[in-house]
Structure 1
Amino acid sequence: MRLKPTLTALFVAATLALPAAAQECVGQNLFDQLPPERMAEMQAAVEGVPYAHGLFWRAEKGDQRITLIGTYHFPDPRHDLILRHFTPEIGAAAKLLVEAGPEEEALLTKALSSDVALLVNAEGPTLPERLSEDEWQALSSTLEKRGVPPVIASRMQPWYVAVMLGVSPCMQRMMQDGDGLDGLDRLLIRKAEAADVPVQALEPWNALFTVFEGMTPREEEDMIRAGMPAAEHADDYTVTMTETYFAENGWLILEFSRFNAYYNSGLSRAEVDAQTEMAQDRMLNQRNARWIEPLEKAAAAAAEQGKGVVAGFGALHLPGEKGVLRLLESRGWKISPIRVEGIGDGG
């Protein structure tokens, strides 16, 4: 299995399975099949969430400026519209801040290639021993479609299994072929490098592994259970997530994942809520809080040069009470939306 993982790609797959390009992964938008009452329930859950709608934002504090781009980690031709809009701003910026820069991705790839224990649990019970027979049969079949034989899958770390479940078979093929990883994050980095604009990572290369530390065995197993409904309809789920992203409905992505698990995971609503909140806290909230200091420091240093900074990271880090936008707002930053022609309301 020749998979070239990156910090951003693994994170997004592990959290909410943000998709690959719709033209590569053929399926249907599952929202079109939802009962009206369920769609209304999902939309009601989004009401009142700060900054739930929008991908692109400006943060200003005195003479300091941060342009925030909510990214999508896999390829899509509509990225060209975003790049066209922000290329001049990147070229004029003092710095581009991203989840992981080229150095961090190289270190992560090297670590995953050289230390099998990061992905494989050589000791302790196997996944067939931890899950029910039906759960293991469904899981092993799902992973086999992604090129992972059951004998290998049985020893994989639960967090990495959850990552694999978030990658549809068509996306997996793209990644194995060496294509399909040039999502918006990498395209932004290329623009910065072409303009000789420094690129700074918001977190170290090994941040991925600290996210999953300290999970209980039940939390690890429920992470797999919660990911199975999306995996069973992976291509449709991928298309649904793609269209939801480009409609700029970030928080609806999270609620769709939650409601899909309500009805299809076999877990109770309370268990799904606990799993969702745990994942959201570990993969979004805690990281968001750590990113504020480097964002503010970079903006302050840029202001001394009469410049601003651009920050591009996963779109789901922006909204919510503990999202980056609300955290900046609470520290005195003025937040305003940026419209991009052809994307969401900017179309």
Structure 2
Amino acid sequence: MRLKPILTALLAAATLAMPAAAQDCVGQNLFQTMPPKRLAELHAAAESVPYRRGLFWRAEKGDQRILLLGTYHFADPRHDLAMDRFGPEIDAAAALLVEAGPQEEARLAQAMAADPSLLVDPDGPTLPERLTDEEWKSLSAALEERGLPAVIASRLRPWYVAVMLGISPCMMRVIETRGDPGGLDHLLVERAQAAAVPVRALEPWDTVFTLFQDMTPAEEEDMIRAAMPAAAHADDYAVTLADAYFAGDSWLIWEFGRFDAYDRSGLTRSQVDAQMRLAQEKLMDQRNKSWVQPIEQAAAQAAGQGKGVVAGFGALHLPGKAGVLRLLENQGWTLSPITVKGTGDGG
């Protein structure tokens, strides 16, 4: 297996990356052709979620300051707008906090090279044995498009398969060519390093391997089934989600995935909802709670230097009752949206 795309997919899982789009990949925004009734359902489902809109926020508490940047983890020229706006603030910050810094990425790559069982199950039943013949036929074809032959794919761990299905084949090729996903996270790190601003990780390098470890076999199999619809129209799906991110409507992305699974996964609505609850708890809620303390500690230390800190992480970690913004609000922080023309609407 090719290490760089696999590493990128792992980082996507660790950072809840949305499926990737790039200038080199052409697709259609599915919201533009969606029946008005279904689009209204998506908006209604997202409407009550706290802080559902906006990518960039400022948090203040006394003399402590945090600049919160919701990121998209793959290359897009629209990232330049955010970097032009926030680059000087990164230069002046006491620290940049991200989900996985350069040291964590290097450690992850080393571990993967040394221990194939992190991704491959050498002992348990194969995926063809766990899925129906039709499901395996569709899944193996989708993974083949992503450079994973069936003989290898058959023993991949289900959580990793679900991650791979969320990255379009076109984007996999772009990553290989570039040698880097090129997302906003990496641009933030590069800017901080150039300004000699310390870069700190919000969680350990092996977080991705612990997120799914207590899932039941049935939950693992349903996770693959719920991820399959996105794989069937990956480039269109990717463009749709990227456009939603840059419109500043992050939670609409989450509801799009839910309703797409309702329509096309073969699971019942209750099964899809259970999968979405499980994914939200493991990929977002638990991690959000663990991040608040180090973010607050960094802000307190920075205030002693008369500075603030910058925290950049996947945009879907911002909204929700257990999102980072609401958790900080509950700790007494005052939150203000920041509008960057062409990137989200704030508020």
- Same-fold call, TM > 0.5? yes
Distance (Å, rounded) in 2 between the aligned partners of 1:227 and 1:308: 39
Identity between Structure 1 and Structure 2 (%):
66
Q: Can you list the C-alpha shifts for 1:158-214, whole angstroms capped at 9, x where unaligned?
A: 111111101100011122334341210010000000111000000010011110111
Q: Is 1:167 the equivalent of 2:167? A: yes
1:1-347 correspondence runs (5 A): 1-4=1-4, 10-12=10-12, 18-345=18-345
Deviations, residues 101-139 of structure 1 (Å, cap 9, x unaligned): 000000001111110000000001100000000000000
Q: What root-mean-square deviation, in Å, do the aligned CA atoms of Structure 1 and Structure 2 show?
A: 1.5
Going from structure 1 to structure 2, the CA distance change for 1:7 and 1:306 (only over 3 Å counts) comes to farther
- 1:189–1:116: structure 2 CA closer, same or farther, 3 Å change rule? same
Paired AA for residue 276 in structure 1: M
* Alpha-carbon shift at residue 12 of structure 1 (Å): 3.6
Q: CA deviation at 1:145?
A: 0.8
1:71, 1:312 within 8 Å by CA — same for their partners in 2?
yes
| Contact in 1 for aligned 2:69/2:313 (Cα 8 Å) | yes
Residue 278 of structure 2 aligns with an amino acid whose one-letter code is: M
Q: Is the 8 A contact 1:96 1:310 kept in 2?
A: yes
Measure how far apart 1:6 and its partner are.
Answer: 7.9
For residues 269-316 of structure 1, give each alpha carbon's deviation from its aligned partner in whole angstroms, at most 9, with x where no partner exists: 000000001001000000000000100000000000010000000000
CA displacement, residues 25-68 of structure 1 (integer Å, 9 cap, x when unaligned):
10100111211111100100111211000000001100000000
Moved more, 108-117 or 14-23: 14-23
Q: Deviations over 1:252-281 (max 9, x none)?
A: 000000000000000000000000010010
Partner of 2:225, secondary structure, is helix
CA 1:250–1:323: 2 relative to 1, 3 Å: same
Q: For residues 288 and 228 of structure 2, what CA distance do their matches in structure 1 show?
A: 27
Superposition TM-score, scaled by structure 2 size: 0.97
1:3-32 Cα deviation digits (max 9, x unpaired): 325877535458866133342210100111
Name which of structure 1's ranges 175-184 and 165-174 shifts more when overlaid on structure 2: 175-184
Q: Distance in 1 between matches of 2:14 and 2:267?
A: 18
- Contact 1:168 / 1:238 at 8 angstroms: preserved in 2? yes
Is residue 50–residue 320 contact of structure 1 (8 Å, CA) maintained in 2?
A: yes
Q: How far apart, in 2, do the equivalents of 1:98 and 1:170 lie? A: 27
Distance 2:15 2:339 in 1: 26
Q: 1:8 to 1:183 in 2, by over 3 A?
A: same
Alpha-carbon separation, structure 1, partners of 2:102 and 2:334: 31
The AA in structure 2 aligned to 1:71 is T
TM-score (norm 1): 0.97
Structure 1: any 5+ residue segments left out of the alignment?
Answer: none
Change (3 A) 1:208 1:258: same
SS of residue paired to 1:310: strand
Please list the CA deviations of residues 58-115 of structure 1 after superposition, one character each: whole Å capped at 9, or x if unmatched. 0110000000000000000011110000011001100000001000000001111110
What is the identity, as a one-letter code, of the residue corresponding to 2:84? R
Letter in 2 for 1:254: W
Work out the CA distance in 2 between the residues paired with 1:63 and 1:258.
Answer: 41
Give the 3 Å change call, closer, same or farther, for CA 171–179 of structure 1 in structure 2.
same
Judged with a 3 Å threshold, the aligned counterparts in structure 2 of structure 1 residues 345 and 65 are, in CA distance, closer, same or farther, namely: same
Secondary structure of the equivalent of 1:345?
A: coil
